[in-house]
Structure 1
């Protein structure tokens, strides 16, 4: 996604808005007090953010609005795919971890991909909030925004949902697995 123009064509925008509207209407439990028309106007007024949502969608995230901050008038989107997005798996945590790894390097890192997409990794609180909307990551796991105190010691955190419980774990930031990806958040 590096080097791509960060504005969608009119056809891409129409298709994305139709997908988002359909998902919005099918999952009203995620945003009970919000109206699609108001959200659509906000999306159309922010083409670069729409591009980021498109990137989330293209990599399998199935983004959906999960909240609205009344004070800032920002809508909050999370990846709501049942499992960690397929197009974002087998990545280490960040650029430093990617550079550190000498053999069997993954193609990319979660932080690098998120930055290129114009989004942020979910933090632990956001991940727990997502799990209140339904069970996610029952077969996969997702890297989470890691506190500096942990990252400075070489670690990174990830989470999943097993046995009707959210588990947050740690791993070396340079590790990567075929079933571990990352979930994003975006404010619009």
Structure 2
């Protein structure tokens, strides 16, 4: 079990680093020119970020490096599972939407779950960037960061990939579906 300090045991850390390294090496198209040894040094120096990556992995996100920000000296991880992470589906958008449901409430909401995991919801731009590395959400969909003006009116937005295109849709923020989850981003 994870401790409240958001730190993995030595065994958990080694296992996660092994999984991440294998995925990194298998998917070099996502991070051309980047070196795993440098990524690993960053990860080992950031126990709380490793904890977040472990949560991403445990909920089916299959996190992988998709970029490097030279300005901030940070590696960028996205959930790269083929479909929306299984352990993060059937959630409405935020706490307000969850509280507004009178019956059949889901177990939680996207924004609180992402915050607990220490990750950010993908933006529409990031979601489109993700699609450059493969075909994601061809059978599922993923909530994305919703602009305040849409959320104020009770809506939230999500994306999927169909017919060789990214589609952006809207729904009531209190809706939830078994085939809709969310993808996260993490900077290390």
The within-5 A match list for 1:53-92 is 53-92=53-92
Q: Tell me the SS of whatever aligns to 1:38.
A: helix
Alpha-carbon distance between aligned partners in 1 of 2:94 and 2:136, rounded to the nearest angstrom: 23
Q: Tell me the SS of whatever aligns to 2:13.
A: helix
The within-5 A match list for 1:35-184 is 35-184=35-184
1:2, CA displacement in angstroms? 10
Gapped regions of structure 2 (runs ≥ 5): none
TM-score, normalised to structure 2's length? 0.98
Kindly report structure 1 stretches of 4+ aligned residues shifted beyond 4 Å: none
Alpha-carbon distance between aligned partners in 1 of 2:2 and 2:39, rounded to the nearest angstrom: 28
TM-score, normalised to structure 1's length? 0.98
For the aligned residues, what is the CA RMSD? 1.3
1:4, CA displacement in angstroms? 3.5
Alpha-carbon distance between aligned partners in 2 of 1:2 and 1:125, rounded to the nearest angstrom: 33
Alpha-carbon distance between aligned partners in 1 of 2:117 and 2:4, rounded to the nearest angstrom: 10
